[in-house]
Amino acid sequence: MSLLTALLILGGLALVFGGLLGFAAVRFKVQSDPLVEQIDDILPQTQCGQCGYPGCRPYAEAIANGDDINKCPPGGDSTIRKLADLMGVEAKPLNAAQTVAIKRVAYIREDECIGCTKCIQACPVDAIVGASKLMHTVIVDECTGCDLCVEPCPVDCIDMLPVTPTPERWKWDLKAIPITQVE
Amino acid sequence: MPSLFQQIQAGKLWDFHGGVHPPTRKAQTAQKPIGVLPLPDRLYIPLRQHIGVAGHVLVSKGQRVLKGQPLTSADNSMAVPVHAPTSGTVMAIAEHTSAHPSALPEITITLVPDGLDEWRSRYPLNLATSDKLSLLERIQESGIAGMGGAGFPAHLKAGLTQPVDYLIINAVECEPYITADDALIQEGAITIVKGIDILCKLLNPKAVLIGIEDDKPIASAALKAACSQREHYYVRDVPTKYPSGGEKQLIQLLTNKEVPAGRRPIDIGIVMLNVGTAFAVAQAVLDDQPLLSRIVTVTGETLSQPQNVLALIGTPVSDLLTFCGYQQQTAGKVIMGGPMMGFTLPDLTVPIIKTTNCILAPSQYELPQPGNELDCIRCSACADACPASLLPQQLLWYSKAKDPAKLDEYNLFDCIECGACAYVCPSEIPLVQYYRVAKAEIREQQREAVKAEQAKARFEARNARLEREKQQRMARNQQLAQAREQAQKTGSNSNAVADALARIKAKKAEQPAPATNREQVLAEREAKKQQAREYQAAKAAANQQPDSVSETAKQEQAVSSEPTVNESATVEPANAKSAAVAAAIARAKAKKAAQAQAEQQETIVEAEQTKQPEAIEQSSPQAATDPRKAAIAAAIARAKAKKQADSEKS
C-alpha cells in the first residue's frame, strides 16, 4: 500500500512539474539566442565584414556557434578581451595582420565623383548621400570607417582619412608630461 | 539637538576629508590695486568659452562692431554668446590656438580694436519691476558662464525651478597664487551683493551662505560690511585648506551635506555660484554690461610687477605678461590657471577667456620640473589627502591596467582632479594625469558605444528597407505575371485581332493630315532651291564685272577668314579631346603598369615604364587647357583601369 502511495505521489509530482515546465517552455519562449545578443553588443557594429561574415550580427551568431573570437579588426584587443570573458575562452591575438589603430572615416573627393551610386549601395549604414549622376558625400558622423565603399568606387575618389581631434574628444597625452615608466 | 538651519545660523562649520596645505604665495598680488591693461592690438575671442555649445556667428569679416555687441547668438539653452569687448573691426573668423590643455585650434573671432571704445546702446533693467524671465534672458544674453573655472552657463543655474534651500556664493579661492576673487571682492563687494540680490530673486533660497577663506581678512570684512543690511546673508570664514573651494567640498564645509555620486548640488537643494559670476550678473542686469572683461592674477617670480589686472576677454596672454614685466627664462613655462590644476601654455598668443583666473610664470626654483616618477610604495598618503575620499592608489593601478569596470567600481568619476594626491606623493607620481587619461578613455568608449548602437540601428533599418523593397518587387512581378496569365486565359483571340484592326484604322485616319503638310514642305523646298539658284547666278555675274574686284576680294577674305576661325575653333576641342584621351590612356597605362609590377612581370613593366613618362609629358600640358574634359577623361580612364585590374585579378 505504502509503495503504491509513494509511486502515486512521485508520479503525480512528475506530472505536475512536467506540466509546469512544458507550460513555461511555451509561455516564456525566447525567440533568439540571448548569447548572440550579448556578443552582438560587444562587437563594434561597423558592419565592415572583415571577419568574413556580412555584418556584425552574423559574426555574433558564428561566434555563438563556435567560431574564433579574433576576427574583428575594428574592435581590436579590447573587444577580443571582452569576448573571451563572455565566452570563457582564452583571449587570442588578432587574426588579421594589420590592426586598425587610428579611427578613420570615408571622405569623397567631390569634384572627382561621377555619381555612379556604387558606394551608396555598398555602405552598410546608409551614411552616403547622393543620387545617380549627382555628387555623393559622406555623413561623417554616421560613417563607421568600414572601408566597404572604397573598393566599389570606379574612379577611386574615396579616401579614408583619420578623424580630426577636437578639444572635447582629446585624450590627455601622457607623453607631453615628463613621466618615465618604472620597470 | 538644534536643526541644521539653526546650526548654520549659529555659525557652525564642518570639515571635509583630506586636503593639503601648499604654500599659498598670495602675498605677491593680494594687496595691490587692480591694474588696467592698455588696449591690445588684437583680441582673439573663441566662439565657445563655456561648457555647452557655441552660438551662431552674427558678424562677418570686415564688419565694424561696437563694444558690447554680441558676436554670436544664444539660440539654444546650452549656448552662451560672446561679445565684442571693445569697438573695432572683425579681422578674421578663423582657427586659433585654444585656451585648452590640448591647445587644439578652435574657431575664433579676431577683433582689431579702433581705440574709440564706443558702446552699443544699453538698456539697464530695474530689479524691482522686471520679472524672472527677462532677468534670465538678460543673464544668458550677457554671456555669463561660471567664472570659477568650469564655465557652466549661469542662466541654467539661476533658472533652476527646484526648491532651493541654500544659495552658496563661492569666494574660497583655495589654489595657491590666485587672488583674482580676493581683489574683486575688495573693490566690488557692493556690486557682488547686488548680484546676489538678483540671484535670490530668481532662486528664492532660505539663506545665502558666502564662503571665504580666513586668509583674506580685508575681503571678508568688505563682504560682511556689504551684507550688513541683508538678513539671511551669512558670510562664513572657512579655514585655509586646499581644495575647500571645490563645489562639493565647500558644500560639506558649510552645510555638512554630501552631494551623492553622479548627482548635482540642486538634488540636495543647493545652488553654488562664484563671486565673479554674481558680480557679472549685477553688471549685466543693472548696467546692461555683458561679460567683456575679467580680473586675472598675473604672478610668478619671473615677473617684476606681479599683480591683478582687468583684462578684456580675448587679450593674448603675452600682453598681460609684458604689462607685468615678464622676463623670459630659458626653459621657463607659463601656466594658465593655478599650480595645482592649471596647464602649461604651448604659445603665448592664447587668449584670456571667461574662465581664466590666473596666468602663472614661475621661475625654475619656484616650481621645479617634476622629478622622476618612482614606484608606488603604498604609503597611502594620497588616500589621506583625497578630498573625495577615493582610493588613489587603486585608481592608479586600474588606470595603468586600463580596466574601466574596476575604475567605475572605485568611483573614478568622483575625482575632482584637484591634484592633492599628486602633491603629497613621495614617489612623485603624477596621479591626476593618469586619471585624466583614464577618464578621457572611458568617455571615448562611451561615445563609441553610443555610435555603435546608432550604426547597428542604421544597419538594421537598411536591411529592413532592402528586404521590404525586395518583397515589393516580388509582389509586383507576381502581379504582372498573374495579369499576363489572366489575359492569356480570358483574352479571346478575337479581342486581340479587333484591337490590332482598330490600331491600324487609327493610324490610317491620322495619315492624310501630314500628307498635306508634306506637299507644303516640298513646295517650300522648291522655292528655296530656286532662290539659291538665282543668288548663284547673280554672284557669277558680279564676279565678271571688273569694278567690283575689291568687293569680291573682301568677300573672299571674309570667306577665307571664316573657315580659319572655324578651323581654330574645331582644332581646339579636338586638341582637348585628344589630350583628354591621351591623359586617359596614360593613366590607364600607369595603373596597368603598377599592377603588372605587382605580378612581377618585370620585363613588361620596364617597357611600359619607359613609355609611361612620355605619355604623361605629352598629355599634361594639353590636359591643362580644358580641366573639365580632362577630369572626365581621367575618371573614365580610372574606371577602365580598375575594370581591367579586376578582370586580371579574376
Q: Is B95 helix (H, G, I), strand (E, B) or coil?
A: strand
Residue B121 burial by Cβ neighbours in a 10 Å radius (0-12, 13-18, 19+): exposed
Q: Phi and psi at residue B95, in whole multiples of 5°?
A: -80, 140
In chain A, the percentage of residues whose pLDDT exceeds 70 is 89
> B325: phi > 0 → left, psi -120 to 50 → alpha, else beta; which?
left
Is the model more confident about A16 or about A60?
A16
State pLDDT tens for residues B138-152. 999 999 999 888 889
CATH of the domain at A160: 3.30.70.20
Helix residue spans in chain A (DSSP H):
2-27, 34-42, 56-64, 76-87, 118-122
* Separation of alpha carbons B47 and B99, rounded Å: 12
Which domains does chain B carry? 13-360 (3.40.50.11540), 370-474 (no CATH), 515-649 (no CATH)
In a domain, A17, yes or no: no
pLDDT above 70: residue B607: no
In a domain, A175, yes or no: no
pLDDT of residue A182: 36
Residues in chain B within 8 Å Cβ distance of A169:
444, 447
In a domain, A114, yes or no: yes
Please tell me which of the candidates B104, B373, B374 has its beta carbon nearest to residue A170: B104
pLDDT of residue B631: 76
CB contact under 8 Å between B459 and A166, yes or no, is: no
Grid cell 587603486 in the structure block, residue: B394
| Whether residue A81 is found in the same domain as residue A127 | no
Q: How many alpha carbons lie under 13 Å from residue B302 in its C-beta half-sphere? A: 21
Prediction pTM value: 0.73
In a domain, A56, yes or no: yes
| Whether residue A80 is found in the same domain as residue A112 | no
Has the ipTM of the complex gone over 0.90? no
Q: Helix B512-544 crosses helix B549-598 at what angle (to 10 degrees)?
A: 120
In a domain, A47, yes or no: yes
How confident is the model over B10-14, as a mean pLDDT?
91
| Whether residue A113 is found in the same domain as residue A79 | no
Give how many domains chain A has, as a whole number: 2
In chain B, the percentage of residues whose pLDDT exceeds 90 is 55
- Integer CA distances (angstroms), A123 to A106, A108, A151, B576, B583, in order: 10, 13, 11, 36, 31
Residues in chain B within 8 Å Cβ distance of A156:
638, 642
pLDDT bracket for residue B565 (50, 70, 90): very low
How confident is the model over B354-361, as a mean pLDDT?
93
Residues in chain B within 8 Å Cβ distance of A86:
none
Tell me how many helices (H) and strands (E) chain B has. 19, 16
CA angle B123, B124, B127 (to 5 degrees): 140
> Where is average pLDDT lowest: A41-45, B61-65, B608-612?
B608-612
| Whether residue A76 is found in the same domain as residue A115 | no
In a domain, A12, yes or no: no
* Separation of alpha carbons A100 and A114, rounded Å: 29
pLDDT above 80: residue B413: yes
CATH of the domain at A44: 1.10.15.40
pLDDT of residue B422: 92
pLDDT above 90: residue A12: yes
In a domain, A24, yes or no: no
* Separation of alpha carbons B368 and B329, rounded Å: 13
In a domain, A80, yes or no: yes
Residues in chain B within 8 Å Cβ distance of A114:
635, 639
State pLDDT tens for residues A82-112. 888 888 888 777 765 555 567 788 999 988 8
How many of the other CB atoms lie within 10 Å of CB of B553? 10
pLDDT bracket for residue B577 (50, 70, 90): low
Please tell me which of the candidates B430, B444, B639 has its beta carbon nearest to residue A179: B430
Average pLDDT, chain B: 85
Please tell me which of the candidates B373, B451, B453 has its beta carbon nearest to residue A179: B373
Query: Which residues span the domain enclosing A109?
Result: 104-164
Sign of CA dihedral A105, A109, A115, A116: negative
| Whether residue A65 is found in the same domain as residue A109 | no
CB contact under 8 Å between B453 and A45, yes or no, is: yes
| Whether residue A79 is found in the same domain as residue A114 | no
